Amino acid sequence: MNPSQSKTALVVGAGIAGASVCYALSKQNIKTILLEQESSAAEKASGNPIGVVYPFLTKHKTLESEFSLLAYQYFLELWESLDLGKRVPHVDGIHFLLDSTSAYDRYSHSLHSHHIPETLACLSKEPNSNLDALLFPKGKAVSPVFLTKELIRIANPMEHYNSKLISWEVNEENGNLICHTEKEILYVDYLFLAQGYQFVMDPKLQWIPMKQVRGQIVRIPSSIFQNQFSILYGDYLTAEIGGERVLGASFDEFHLEEETRQKETFDLWNGLQTKLPNLLPNWKEIEIQNFGTRVSFRTQSQDRHPVVGKLPNHSLLDTSVKYQNLFRKNAKTFQIPYYETVGILNGLGSRGLTHALLAAEILVCDLLSQKLEISDTIKKALKPDRFLLRKWKRDELT
């Protein structure tokens, strides 16, 4: 019997991150419990009616762009192998507008520097504006709710809703984890923390520099616009799914109220009109105050990149080891201690749909010591360790 089959994992958070972890664990035949404090999956940031899937690219290769492109390709592979298109509402095709010289320079060069085939991305014209664009023919507008729930259905974890993780600790006798929820105590072998901005309630995570970001979208009846592909231009207008399109999204990291702001609806609408005036002949006749809206909160790390890896044990850090002394004779090296069976997947920001599946695969393989054909430098760039190392070099660890 595979030794993994006798192990149990607890995944906290039933958004796209947690669902992706559940799927990665299911491939390892690990018994999984999914814990969510809401009444069902995908009720928070993953609950928007439509989201977009496409990679983050830079003019020259960076670790971030390499990871994003790999994640995009991995998403497309799973989309085909799991036949997700049959169960997840979606529309293929994204035009990313190149509406400035610098944007054209960046993205046209990115195709060559990243060796991207035309089947994944190519230069094109956006038909409504006749502007230069980067076309992602397999990029997708998808329903995040359906995608999240379909991954959970495939993974088939035990689902515990309306229950919050209160605290967790390591059993010093056997190394297992004792997890206290609102309803029960769970004894597990692995713990995966993928609970988005709810991480602030866990004192073992509070050292990680992440914060909530508020985003507001506008829900537009499908009949108003006729664009067949989603259009990205700083903001975005999706293709039609389920009788509506989504215009989004505002961004606010300082004022986090849940109420809708009518000004943001008007700002998004005016921005769309300015960028794509040919989409409508009669902009002023539309009563945009009657459109539906949705506010959600995503989690963003200090450097805006995902946080993926084994969780460092901040309380066991040896802060007497100083970076300034590193090159002295017989200097002690800085070692990061870990909770060996606890992992974190967070800080996905606005790219959770694109990045979550590969990030989850990296995380699960890391905790299970499984080989994954991705460069160590890319995996290292995602680890939460990076924040400790930066603080250590600035002598800010306490």
Q: What is the pLDDT along the chain (398 residues), one digit of tens a residue?
A: 355 568 999 999 999 999 999 999 999 999 999 999 999 999 999 999 999 999 999 999 999 999 999 999 999 999 999 999 999 999 999 999 999 999 999 999 999 999 999 999 999 999 999 999 999 999 999 999 999 999 999 999 999 999 999 999 999 899 899 999 999 999 999 999 999 988 888 999 999 999 999 999 999 999 999 999 999 999 999 999 999 999 999 999 999 999 999 999 999 999 999 999 999 999 999 999 999 999 999 999 999 999 999 999 999 998 888 877 777 766 678 899 999 999 999 999 999 999 999 999 999 999 999 999 999 999 999 999 999 999 888 888 87
Give residues with Cβ within 8 angstroms of 346, minimum separation 6: 17, 193, 194, 195, 196, 199, 208, 210, 299, 301, 306, 307
- Taking the CA of residue 358 as centre, how many other CA atoms within 13 Å lie in the half-sphere pointing to its CB? 24
- CATH 3.50.50.60 maps onto the chain at 3-46+147-208+302-393
**CA distances (Å), 394 to each of 1, 280, 302, 327, 385, in order?**
48, 53, 16, 16, 14
Q: What's the token pair of residue 108?
A: 């046209």
Which pLDDT does position 290 carry in this prediction? 93
- Spatial separation of the C-alpha atoms in residues 75 and 70, rounded to whole Å: 9
Residues 6+ apart with CB under 8 A from 339: 170, 191, 204, 310, 311, 312, 313
Token representation of residue 200:
């602030």
Q: Which CATH architecture has domain 50-142+211-301?
A: 2-Layer Sandwich (3.30)
| DSSP strand pairing (8-12 vs 31-35) | parallel
- The encoded tokens of residue 20 equal 């992706």
The C-alpha atoms of residue 156 and residue 33 are separated, in whole angstroms, by 9
| Stretch(es) of the chain classified as CATH 3.30.9.10 | 50-142+211-301
Whether the CB-CB separation of 45 and 15 falls below 8 Å is answered with yes
Interatomic CA distance for residues 208 and 301, integer angstroms? 8
What pLDDT is attached to residue 333? 80
What distance in Å separates the CA atoms of residue 44 and residue 214, rounded to the nearest whole number?
11
- Maximum Cα–Cα distance for the chain, whole Å? 76
Exposed e or buried b per residue across 312-327, where buried means at least 16 C-beta atoms within 10 angstroms of its C-beta: bebeebeeeeeeeeee
Long-range contact list for 333-337, CB < 8 A, 24+ apart?
334/389, 334/392, 336/312, 336/385, 336/388, 336/389, 337/312, 337/313
What is the CATH topology of the domain spanning 3-46+147-208+302-393? FAD/NAD(P)-binding domain (3.50.50)
Residue type, 360: A
Residues 6+ apart with CB under 8 A from 347: 210, 299, 300, 301, 304, 305, 306, 307
Helices and strands (DSSP H and E) totals, the chain: 8, 18
